[in-house]
Structure 1
Amino acid sequence: MLRYEEIIEYIKNEISKGNFTYKKRLPSIRDMSQLFNCSIGTVLKAYDKLEKEHIIYSSPKSGYYLLEDFRENTSSENSIIDFSSGVPDVETFPYKDFQHCLNKSIELYKETLFNYSDPRGLNSLIRALAKHLQQYQIFTKPDNIVITSSSQQALNILSTMPFPNNKSNILVEQPTYYGMIKSLELNNISALGIERGLDGINLDALENMFKYGNIKFFYTIPRFHNPTGNSYNRQEKESIAKMAEKYNVYIVEDDIVADLEINKKNDPLFSYDTSQKVIYLKSYSKILMPGLRVAALILPKLLMNTFLDYKKWTDMNSPTLSQGALEIYLKSGMFDIHRKKMSKLYCDRMLYLKDTISSFTHPNIKWNVPKSGYFSCIYVDGNLQYDKVISSLQNDNIELLNTNMCFLKEYKNDHYFRISISKVNEDKIKRGIPIVLNTIEKYLKL
């Protein structure tokens, strides 16, 4: 733990104990530097982080103070170990940098902020994205890019609009992202499933579905899969791209956490497409903040007009302010700095999780912990009292996603536990994972 992190932990502990209270001045910068034998700059960094977390505030020529009711509002939150979340921790949000970009966006686009704009998105952002996406081995023309109000909007439109292959069924991995499952259910769309476990997917079974399943498109999360954490290898991606061309099936590639990739040779499925069959979707929620509601969609030319027609009459256009701010954030280089910081954070957490979980062995319990990404997965082979595991962990202040929602109705099972590391530090991983594993073992019927 770094020295400024020790200071932060110390202050939070003192707050929890009731030693630091509302209206009582916190120790001065100089006093804290002497207490921790560190520089004044280190203390300032710790206090700045606490301000960003809305725990303390500074009063000019007076010092630092605890925000009113902070202890009461956060004591229960701090005690929860949240392995369920699919969004970034608020502590990682780039508030100040993005606030600057928002202010600049208002200056640059004040004439268009309150008027309707192009349903495709802000032209300057689209051009910036075409260049930015090359870092991910995504090479496309600006004319193929559409900005949507989140990846969820893109998935909803793609699911409901007709495709030029005139097919009707949507094929989804089982399990998969629950937002896609919900979209299919609410829109009453015919869907089929194909198993994707910790070891990946059966390509022969997939080809059989492509050939005989009347598949409109196959929705897939090739890397850092939600909820298993699994990633397709190069051979699998090449095979899927070839099958798509052979059987006239479109692929919707949801590359939701591409920004956390550390293997520069792990290219997206889109890069293997030679027949204009892969639709590429990239969100900025997982790397920045979920409230941004901006995603980039790359469409084959044949789909563009239909998609834009559906999008226009869904929301007319995506928020110009968010688009403008993202454009500035990308062009300034701040995005790349933030991405590197986040990638290291998640890699470190995954490594710690792997070290923690590796010490546990059970013949019926398997696990997959990738090198990066949001999610790892525990798989239980056996008859399990799943609901009792979830409720028991809740009593221990540990939150887990019920992965039943990640399955189509006919595929639901009680074998998977998704472990998200977005809101847990190393201490929470160390405390929480043994409880999770021991609870699973307790309710496993051999």
Structure 2
Amino acid sequence: MPKYEEIMKEIDKRVTEGKLKPGSKLPSIRMLSNEFSCSRNTVIKAYEELEKKHIIYAVPKSGYYIVDRYQPSKKKSAKSIIIDFLSAGPDKKIMPFRDFQHCMNQAIDIYKEEMFSYSEIQGMQSLRDQLAKHLQDHQVFTSAERICVVTGSQQALNLFVSLPFPNGKNNICLEQPTHHAFIESIQVQNPTVYGIEVTNKGIDLDYLEYLFKEKDIKFFYIVSRFHNPTGYSYTNLEKKKIVELAQKYDVYIVEDDYMGDLDINSKRDPMFAFDPTGRVIYTKSFSKVLLPGLRLGITVIPEAMKKHFIRAKYADDLHTPLLTQGALEIYIKSGMYDAHIKKMRTIYHKKGKLLQEAFMEYLPANTYSCSHSGFYSTVEIPSHLNAKKLVEVLEKENVLVQDASIMYLPQYKKENVIRLSVSQVDEEYIHIGIEKIASSILKMELKEI
């Protein structure tokens, strides 16, 4: 073991034994150098590595301290390991905390005067300019004038539910199931809605045409890549056909491309690419790929709706926080964002592949959906069984999953579907977790019989 790793291990041990308390000051570099008979550079490297892991932090001209909330590593028995398919946020181990902290500090220096006044409702001009360039790499060609920075993409989606659209229509069409926050917007505002089922083969385009033609649809809300919760991604041909139907029947499309950054297929385009004039309203979140707590997203608004949207946003929150906007601008401009996304694609794609292999090994065909991102998938259990009960059974096995019934409108609800995400699951536990799920379903069936 390299000497610097010995030092790291010893510090962890001292915290475990109570010799060092969270929040307490660490021995000086000189003291540890003498204790371990090593160079000062070796101790510095150990401290730098611990700082990267957010175990310690440096105070200029004072020294290094243990992070207040740091919990020392403990050996876990196989029985105590929790396999968390429930949590859907990004993998905390690969989040760019220090890089983004650096960008936040820079943003404070650059925009310190602006922070004492209200910002532009639509978002900082410099950030929107940067985003316009950034979006070109994703086949979203638009101007900064059409981009609106929002406090999480959910803010934009919620506003769209109540806003008037240029086609003068009133009703909304959405996939079933879909993510819970949008379901909440629908239930709170209570518009007339029509659902269309998402299966392993996508949606029924003939039925979609019927809805567009007969049901006064103002917009169709669709998650075009890595659908939440099924993980389904539409092909370019499907997207093109949906856009053609929208053009034919004067329907707008609200495209939620919240995880398009994770798509390893560079030839798969967003729906916006098939009609950039304004028929397709593009929304994108930075929560799932960056830091969820930032609550940053964007939407590309058609000129005909811009005035109404900006007014509604102003009434909602005045403007999106300036500091996080400035930090995002620096993060993208520096190239850190692209480097981070490249790493995430590799990690999540591998997890997605392992998940698909596990599904194929342990579950019957056509009972599961899966995405290459690894973020979301669903498992449909026999109709006479209840997903909520399965959640309880699996919790006793230290496997966490989500009952997907909250992702359906009441009239379309299924109570035999669970949602899984592998974003928080270590690779070596994916197969183990799916085997436990399959075993628990079987036990429930036998008990029912």
TM-score scaled by length of structure 1: 0.86
CA offset digits 1:124-169 (Å, max 9, x no partner): 0000000000110010111111000111111111111111111111
| 1:118-267 mapped onto 2 (5 Å cutoff) | 118-267=120-269
Partner of 1:317: 319
Residues 166 and 304 in structure 2, CA contact (< 8 A), matched pair in contact too: yes
Partner of 1:414: 415
Stretch moving more, 53-62 or 99-108: 53-62
CA distance in 1, matches of 2:383, 2:88: 27
Residues 281 and 295 in structure 1, CA contact (< 8 A), matched pair in contact too: yes
| 1:26-105 mapped onto 2 (5 Å cutoff) | 51-55=51-55, 70-71=71-72, 79-105=81-107
Stretch moving more, 88-97 or 173-182: 88-97
Q: Does 1:117 align with 2:119?
A: yes
Residues 82 and 399 in structure 2, CA contact (< 8 A), matched pair in contact too: yes
Residue among 275, 284, 297 paired with 1:282: 284
* TM-aligned CA deviation for residue 68 of structure 1: 7.2
* TM-aligned CA deviation for residue 74 of structure 1: 11
CA distance in 1, matches of 2:17, 2:58: 15
Partner of 2:433: 432
* TM-aligned CA deviation for residue 23 of structure 1: 1.9
Residues 263 and 345 in structure 2, CA contact (< 8 A), matched pair in contact too: yes
Give the AA of the match of 2:98.
K
Residues 125 and 323 in structure 1, CA contact (< 8 A), matched pair in contact too: yes
Stretch moving more, 286-295 or 370-379: 370-379
CA distance in 2, matches of 1:74, 1:64: 24
Q: Does 1:22 align with 2:18?
A: yes
Stretch moving more, 58-67 or 342-351: 58-67
- Residues 389, 112 of structure 1: CA spacing in aligned structure 2 closer, same or farther, 3 A cutoff? same
Residues 22 and 68 in structure 1, CA contact (< 8 A), matched pair in contact too: no
SS state of the match for residue 313, structure 2? helix
Partner of 1:37: none
CA offset digits 1:377-400 (Å, max 9, x no partner): 223353223221011112222221
- Residues 29, 355 of structure 1: CA spacing in aligned structure 2 closer, same or farther, 3 A cutoff? farther
Residues 363 and 438 in structure 2, CA contact (< 8 A), matched pair in contact too: no
- Residues 308, 67 of structure 1: CA spacing in aligned structure 2 closer, same or farther, 3 A cutoff? closer
Stretch moving more, 129-138 or 81-90: 81-90
Give the AA of the match of 2:346.
K
SS state of the match for residue 348, structure 1? helix
CA distance in 1, matches of 2:425, 2:329: 30
Residues 29 and 44 in structure 1, CA contact (< 8 A), matched pair in contact too: no
* TM-aligned CA deviation for residue 358 of structure 1: 2.2
CA offset digits 1:91-121 (Å, max 9, x no partner): 2221111111111111111121121121110
Residues 142 and 276 in structure 2, CA contact (< 8 A), matched pair in contact too: no
Partner of 1:296: 298
Residues 126 and 147 in structure 1, CA contact (< 8 A), matched pair in contact too: yes
CA distance in 2, matches of 1:113, 1:58: 26
CA distance in 2, matches of 1:375, 1:318: 28
Residues 369 and 376 in structure 1, CA contact (< 8 A), matched pair in contact too: yes
CA distance in 2, matches of 1:274, 1:378: 35
Partner of 2:380: 379
* TM-aligned CA deviation for residue 343 of structure 1: 0.9
CA offset digits 1:55-94 (Å, max 9, x no partner): 4678999999797772599989x83321112211322221
- Residues 362, 108 of structure 1: CA spacing in aligned structure 2 closer, same or farther, 3 A cutoff? same
SS state of the match for residue 184, structure 1? helix
Stretch moving more, 383-392 or 54-63: 54-63
Residues 381 and 387 in structure 2, CA contact (< 8 A), matched pair in contact too: no
* TM-aligned CA deviation for residue 31 of structure 1: 12
CA distance in 1, matches of 2:321, 2:68: 33
Partner of 1:35: none
SS state of the match for residue 337, structure 1? helix
Q: Does 1:336 align with 2:338?
A: yes
CA distance in 1, matches of 2:407, 2:52: 34
CA RMSD of aligned residues (A): 3.4
Give the AA of the match of 1:248.
D
CA offset digits 1:6-27 (Å, max 9, x no partner): x89x969x97xx994232699x
- Residues 286, 74 of structure 1: CA spacing in aligned structure 2 closer, same or farther, 3 A cutoff? farther
* TM-aligned CA deviation for residue 244 of structure 1: 0.7
Residues 349 and 373 in structure 2, CA contact (< 8 A), matched pair in contact too: yes
Residues 257 and 373 in structure 1, CA contact (< 8 A), matched pair in contact too: no
- Residues 413, 384 of structure 1: CA spacing in aligned structure 2 closer, same or farther, 3 A cutoff? same
CA distance in 2, matches of 1:31, 1:111: 48
- Residues 336, 227 of structure 1: CA spacing in aligned structure 2 closer, same or farther, 3 A cutoff? same
CA distance in 2, matches of 1:207, 1:49: 57
Please list every run of 5 or more consecutive structure 2 residues that lacks an aligned counterpart in the other structure.
Answer: 21-25
CA offset digits 1:244-265 (Å, max 9, x no partner): 1111111000001011010000
CA distance in 2, matches of 1:30, 1:62: 17
* TM-aligned CA deviation for residue 29 of structure 1: 10
Partner of 1:345: 347
CA distance in 1, matches of 2:277, 2:245: 11
Please list every run of 5 or more consecutive structure 1 residues that lacks an aligned counterpart in the other structure.
Answer: 33-39
SS state of the match for residue 366, structure 1? coil
Stretch moving more, 98-107 or 274-283: 274-283
SS state of the match for residue 362, structure 2? coil
CA distance in 2, matches of 1:439, 1:149: 40
